[in-house]
Amino acid sequence: MNIYDYSKSDLEEYFESINEKRYKAKQVYDWLYKKRVKSFDEMSNIKKDIIQKLKEDFTFNTIEIVKVQNGNDVHKFLFKLKDNNYIEAVLMNHDYGNSLCISTEVGCNMGCAFCESGRVKKIRDLEVSEMTCQILLIEEHLNIRISHVVLMGIGEPFDNFDNVMKFIDIINDDNGISIGSRHITISTCGIVPKIREFTKMHKQVNLAISLHAPNDKLRSKLMKINKVYPISEVIKAVKDYLKENNRKVTFEYIMLKGVNDKKEHALELSKLLKGMNAYVNLIPYNETSHIEFKPTFRDEIMKFYDILKKNRINVTIRKEFGSGIDAACGQLRTKYKEDI
């Protein structure tokens, strides 16, 4: 068993199962996530017989950084997993801190037309440890503290629901990595049953919906999931989430030249989201060599932004990162595998 797969409550149950005190879980967590030790032998305040038991029952297996690309305020990491699959994470330096976008699956079954990572079908879910170690290894590599985590890399987080929820518990735990709830964002393309399950959990982390179109006809062309859960169902689930959790929701909207960036789209989007406790995050598109979409010009993004603003929709434009690197999610992995 991998020690990084265990939440603090899991470890408390483990220690009870071997007739030890629950508080030892907190001690182990302190060594793992505060002191960042790499072996049980370094845990000097834990009895030797318990250390031996831990060594018998757990491993410290982690993932491996195999390539790093550095750009202006951005670092892209390619990881090799124990089964020789690859995932990516992107570290972005903002004025408010260091934000890490992590992967949650190997590949993705959602098949969004504009997404590089969706070109590879889902191979498997990431284990909790494989998500957690993305943070640990990058903090060590860059000698930094990651303040914000976004689950918006390779994979659909709600398609790996149980592992993702445990991962959030670990990084949010004061004895764990200790990233505040308001600094964690989970993004979904709109798996309605999981949005509803998440609603009932009352977690204080941020919820983002990958919308990318204001109507079903266009969204179904861009996102296969819309044929299963159309916009009306997604919006209803989000409204129920807002009512029960009183937390603002983000709608992600990637700007594709000549596809979803016209005046009529902005007006339709304004009507769709009118009165909701939400805001729209307009995302400049990172062009790739494998997909035909082009990014919307900056002045056209501003026109779209202005229409939303005039219609009293809260809206931001995501800062552009990675102009000098393989910025699109999944792009670094694809190029690396083509080269080996």
Are 41 and 112 in contact by the 8 Å Cβ rule? The answer is: no
**Rounded CA separation 205/152 (Å):** 14
Instruction: Evaluate if residue 12 carries a pLDDT over 60.
Output: yes
Q: What is the gyration radius of the CA atoms in the chain, in angstroms?
A: 21
> Which residue in the list 88, 130, 156, 252 is annotated as catalytic?
88
Would you call 98 helix, strand, or coil by DSSP?
Answer: strand
Structure confidence at residue 323 (pLDDT) = 53
Q: Catalytic residue at 329?
A: yes
Instruction: Evaluate if residue 337 carries a pLDDT over 70.
Output: no
CATH 3.40.605.10 at 64-339, yes or no = no
Domain 3-57 identical in fold to domain 64-339: no
Pairwise pLDDT comparison (5 vs 327), residue with the higher score: 5
In which order are the strands placed within the sheet that holds 314-317?
64-71, 74-80, 86-94, 97-102, 148-151, 184-188, 206-210, 249-255, 278-284, 314-317
Dihedral sign of CA atoms 202, 207, 213, 214 in order: positive
Structure confidence at residue 338 (pLDDT) = 45
pLDDT tens for 130-160 read 999 999 999 999 999 999 999 999 999 999 9
Instruction: Evaluate if residue 227 carries a pLDDT over 70.
Output: yes
> Which residue in the list 56, 101, 329, 338 is annotated as catalytic?
329
Are 334 and 116 in contact by the 8 Å Cβ rule? The answer is: yes
User: Rounded to two decimals, what is the model's pTM?
Assistant: 0.93
pLDDT over 70, % of the chain: 93
**Rounded CA separation 198/241 (Å):** 8
Q: Catalytic residue at 264?
A: no
Structure confidence at residue 63 (pLDDT) = 96
> Which tokens is 158 given?
């709600």
∠ CA 245-196-109, nearest 5°, is 130
CATH 3.30.70.20 at 3-57, yes or no = no
Every domain of the chain and the residues it spans:
3-57, 64-339
pLDDT tens for 44-61 read 999 999 999 999 999 998
Structure confidence at residue 336 (pLDDT) = 47
